Structure 1
Amino acid sequence: MRVKQKRFLQGVLLTITAILSGANIVLAEGNIFDQNWNDREIQQRIEMGIKTNRMGFATLSFVDQNGRPVSEVEVKVEQTRSDFLFGANIFYLNGYDSPEMNRKYEEMFTRLFNFATVGFYWNWVEPKPGDLRYDRNSPFIVRKPAPDVVVDFCRKNQLEMRGHPLCWVPSQPDWLPRDKEKLASLQRKRFQEIGARYARKIKYWDVVNEPTNRHVDAVLPDDCTCWALQLTDKYFTPENALSVNTTTIDSWLNFYWEDSPFYLLVKNLQLRGARLDFIGMQFHIDGHAFAEDFYAGKVLTPEHLSRVLDQYGKLGLPIHISEITLPTPRTPDGEEMQAKAARHLYRLWFSHPNVQAITWWNLGDDHATMFYECKGALMRPGLVPKPSYVALDRLINHEWKTRLVLTSEKESKIKFQGFYGSYTITARHKGKIQTETIHLSKTGFNEFEIRFR
């Protein structure tokens, strides 16, 4: 039986049962969320996708100092870093009044994430003409840290970075002229400055944010999205990865297969030769009505999300789930519901071959801005972890990290399956201990020699 037909019958049966028992229909419908996500076919696809797309095999060969094979080796395999990018925006770096809270923010961020979104909103970094706020000594503004400060922190903690955004109408400062040619000249200067200062430090860049959602009266250069990508290609490096990042509505709801507006935009850019290295798809569930429909299993079901990802995967580009806000329902078990939904969503996204990164938007509810009321972050005020933070920690740092203890017995080789990423290998043989680092790559040969010295 097809999944869609089966769910329909399950929903009908649930509703009939509720009517006969006098139960509240709204509560009955709420259970559809669990039915959708616990469907056997959905779960099998997710499990298979994780094993197929996120794991590979490595072979360890053991030799003595003369290159002769040795056996009966005890091996500890410990993954230290994932190739997959798990992130959040890092806008509240140094944003608390006390050093202790700032240290806690840093610790809670780096415990969970290896990827940080760095703010380059034009009105943040150039509030007045020529008054640039890139330097680490720039005047401090809460939730608008100078990019140099963030880059220093991320490089110190080995966090990959995404610059966001180079072009976005709502972030244009008030002092900009409403003349297309003058605006284009200023944007060209901005792109050139940022490229010269950060292109070799930050790999990923959202060149244009929400291109399908700009106001009809917005003043922009003609053919702005293509123009901005070409400009970035000129002033940045070939090693940078460039994207367009679109809204939740145009990512998941305005979906008409190959006729979806965002899909058509990306396809158009590709056909015209614009450089585009990945695409960003937001996932902000903003508004209580939207959230209620989501938790009732009425919108953004796993079947629909998979369908959308499969279609966008045909573009041949990596996909970043670029900004996530998942509200906490206004119920006694609301935080547990948020955590359950977060776990389901991350597993589905992680399993898909085209998804390269997942970015939750705000770490804490007390430093969210436009999404404050929905409490869509991972931590309560004061950086107290919610169940959702714990759920993601369990996935990222436990279920999706490989840790093994193995013995080669009579063989001089060991083969293991693990998640793609960096590893520390500790091998013991006849009192000798040898420690090596390896990288299990999706595209590599993944055969490694451990030589006892």
Structure 2
Amino acid sequence: MDPSPDPTLRHRTDEVALTVLDPQGVPMTGTEVVVEQRSHAVGLGNIGFDQIPLANDELSGQAAAQAVELAALWLDLHNSATLPFYWGQFEPVRGRPDTRRLLRTARWFDDRGVRVKGHPLVWHTLTAPWLLDLPTAEVVEAQRARIRREVSDFSGVIDTWDAINEVVIMPVFDKEENGITRVAQELGRVGVIRLAFEEARATNPAATLLLNDFNLSADYEHLIEEVLEAGIQVDALGLQSHMHQGYWGEEKTLGILERFARFGLPLHLTETTLLSGDLMPPEIEDLNDYQVSHWPSTPQGEERQAHEVVRHYTTLLSHPSVESITYWGLSDHGAWLGAPVGLVRADGTPKPAYDALHGLVKGEWWLPPTSLRTDDAGQVTVSGWRGAYGVACAAGSGTFTLDGSGSAQVRVG
């Protein structure tokens, strides 16, 4: 595949000669069939934090009804979910992890055909407070055990993890005292990354493990170089894109993708946001430092967000290295920093950005139910975005994929 960006998105599509077989395996000639898309191969995700209470039957009355409506909007647009494994929230008391609730939530998504990722296994922020009482050597062992436990307990349901998060800043982080920064200082950046990846890999050799960061400067590039030179197997690179200070634009976005695509690894845009209200002042260096009591979504901001989300997703997917895009928050309710980043307003109504993105994902980039007639060889030609498809006729139904193979067979029944 040509690694160069292609604004036509041709590399995301495929054409297959599909042979339709009857239940006995005989090609069905001259038969009317209906083909339709079931899912995208490319990851089009969002955080699944809001669905945790719903999946665990913790809601009732109006709150439950609203959660069901929000979940329906979520499921109609996304095919991958990120669930929170922030150590301080997951295990605030040592030995009492929130495994049951998160596992039930992960299965809730999995039952609905949604791929699930855990975020993160190692991070210095929101880490367990009780680590502060331990000497560094014991923190290291506690972190190793935490990785093995989570990767093992969730194996088969969550097999993709942000193995470690924001390592560029980790050893020099000074906003708050924490045990993991001490580990990073002791082992070095490459050493703590090795710890994360090797423990996770040993526990689940089939896992997809990401190195994730918000720092997209040359410092992250240099760190990746060091990690790969050290022989650490990284499956994908995570790039955060919180655009609280304004949309990057096509030129900047493609420039970033080109810089990180040179490593030959899939790129995951792990945390994407675009505002539908006032932008954060440009002089703010740490987004966490901007705190306002009220940060509303505005009609003008919503129209801007709708245009920008179409431009951004189209630009990202024009680059063949991009394998997944995760938007960071469906709703404004409880959004990070209180910012109006959601695709849905706090009252549960979709913003223009939701409709615009839906128009791409389930419109321009989607094959609706389409009637076709098989030829004398029992074949039809199917063209569309790569992903999973279904075929149905009077004799039954079956599934197939558009995956670049050029041909496929499906036995209906």
- 1:355 corresponds, among 319, 322, 333, to 322
SS of the residue corresponding to residue 363 of structure 1 reads coil
Aligned residue in 2 for 1:402: 367
Asked whether 1:219 is paired with 2:186, we answer: no
- Does 2:311 correspond to 1:311? no
1:330-369 correspondence to structure 2 within 5 Å: 330=278, 332-369=299-336
Contact preservation (8 Å) 1:117, 1:162: yes
Match of 1:75 in 2: 33
Partners of 1:279 and 1:380 in 2: how far apart? Answer: 31
User: Is the 8 Å Cα contact of residues 324 and 360 (structure 1) preserved in structure 2?
Assistant: yes
Residue in structure 2 matched with residue 414 of structure 1 by the alignment:
380
1:389 is aligned with what amino acid?
Y
> Equivalent of 2:249, from 283, 290, 301?
301
Which structure 2 residue ranges, 5 or more long, are not aligned?
175-180, 279-297
Contact 1:60 1:450 in 2 (8 A): no
The residue aligned with 2:72 is 107
SS in 1 for 2:384: strand
2:160 maps to 1:204: yes
The secondary structure found in structure 1 opposite 2:92 is: coil
Residue type of the alignment partner of 2:333: D
Deviations 1:253-289 (A, max 9, x none): x2xxxxx221221122112111210111011123xxx
Corresponding residue for residue 37 of structure 1 = none
Q: Report the counterpart of residue 352 of structure 2 in structure 1.
A: 387
* 1-structure distance, mates of 2:255, 2:321: 13
Instruction: Identify if the C-alpha distance between structure 1 residues 367 and 411 changes in structure 2 by more than 3 Å, giving closer, same or farther.
Output: same
Q: If you compute each CA radius of gyration, which structure gives the higher value, 1 or 2?
A: 1
Distance in 1 (alpha carbons) for counterparts of 2:348 and 2:21: 49
Structure 1 distance, partners of 2:236, 2:39, is 22
1:375 aligns with 2:343: no
CA distance in 2, matches of 1:61, 1:227: 48
Q: 1:261 aligns with which of 187, 211, 219?
A: 219
The amino acid that maps onto 2:121 is L
Matches within 5 A, 1:59-138: 59-62=17-20, 71-93=29-51, 94=53, 98-135=63-100
Cα 1:367/1:329, change in 2 over 3 Å: closer
Q: 1:375: how far off? A: 0.3
Q: CA deviation at 1:133?
A: 1.6
- Where does 1:163-242 land on structure 2 (aligned, <5 Å)? 163-177=118-132, 179-214=135-170, 216=172, 218-221=181-184, 222=187, 223-235=191-203, 237-242=204-209
SS at match of 1:58: strand
Query: 1:280–1:320: 8 Å Cα contact kept in structure 2?
Result: yes
1:448 to partner: Cα distance: 1.8
Partner of 1:159: 114
TM-score using structure 2 length: 0.83
Quote how far apart the aligned CAs of 1:88 are: 0.8
1:349 and 1:355 in contact (8 A); partners too: yes
Per-residue deviation, 1:406: 2.7
- CA offsets 1:1-30 (integer angstroms, 9 cap, x no match): xxxxxxxxxxxxxxxxxxxxxxxxxxxxxx
1:112 Cα shift?
1.0
2:19/2:377 contact within 8 Å kept: no
Report the Cα offset of residue 130 of structure 1.
1.7
How far off its partner does 1:315 sit?
A: 1.0
Q: 8 Å contact 2:15–2:406 — kept in the other structure?
A: no
Q: In 2, are the aligned partners of 1:179 and 1:219 still within 8 Å (CA)?
A: no
Amino acid at match of 2:373: T
SS of equivalent to 2:336? coil
Q: Does 2:274 correspond to 1:326?
A: yes
Aligned-residue offset at 1:410: 6.3
Residues 283 and 325, structure 1, Cα contact 8 Å, conserved in 2? yes
Q: Once superposed, what is the RMSD of the aligned Cα atoms?
A: 2.4
Q: 1:63, 1:220 → 2: CA distance?
A: 58
Which residue does 2:408 correspond to in 1?
Answer: 447
Structure 1 match to 2:240: 282
In structure 2, the residue matched to 1:423 is 389
Cα gap change, 1:103 to 1:262, in 2 (>3 Å):
same
Give identity over the alignment, percent. Answer: 25
Separation (CA, whole Å) in 1 of partners of 2:27 and 2:92? 65
Check conservation: 1:62, 1:449, Cα contact below 8 A. Answer: yes
Segments of structure 1 that go 5 or more residues without pairing to the other structure are 1-43, 136-145, 255-259, 295-299
- Partner SS for 1:423: strand
In the TM superposition, what is the alpha-carbon distance from 1:211 to its structure 2 partner? 0.8
* 3-state SS in 2 of match to 1:366: coil
TM-fit CA distance, 1:244: 1.0
CA distance in 2, matches of 1:172, 1:350: 33
Equivalent residue letter for 2:400:
I
Separation in 2, partners of 1:324, 1:68: 48
Residues 201 and 332 of structure 1: is their aligned pair in 2 closer, same or farther, counting only changes over 3 Å?
closer
CA distance in 2, matches of 1:89, 1:69: 43
CA distance in 2, matches of 1:385, 1:332: 13
SS in 2 for 1:176: helix
Which residue of 243, 267, 284 maps to 2:210? 243
Post-superposition shift, 1:321? Answer: 0.6
Q: 1:446 to 1:378 in 2, by over 3 A?
A: same
Give the match's secondary structure for 2:333.
helix
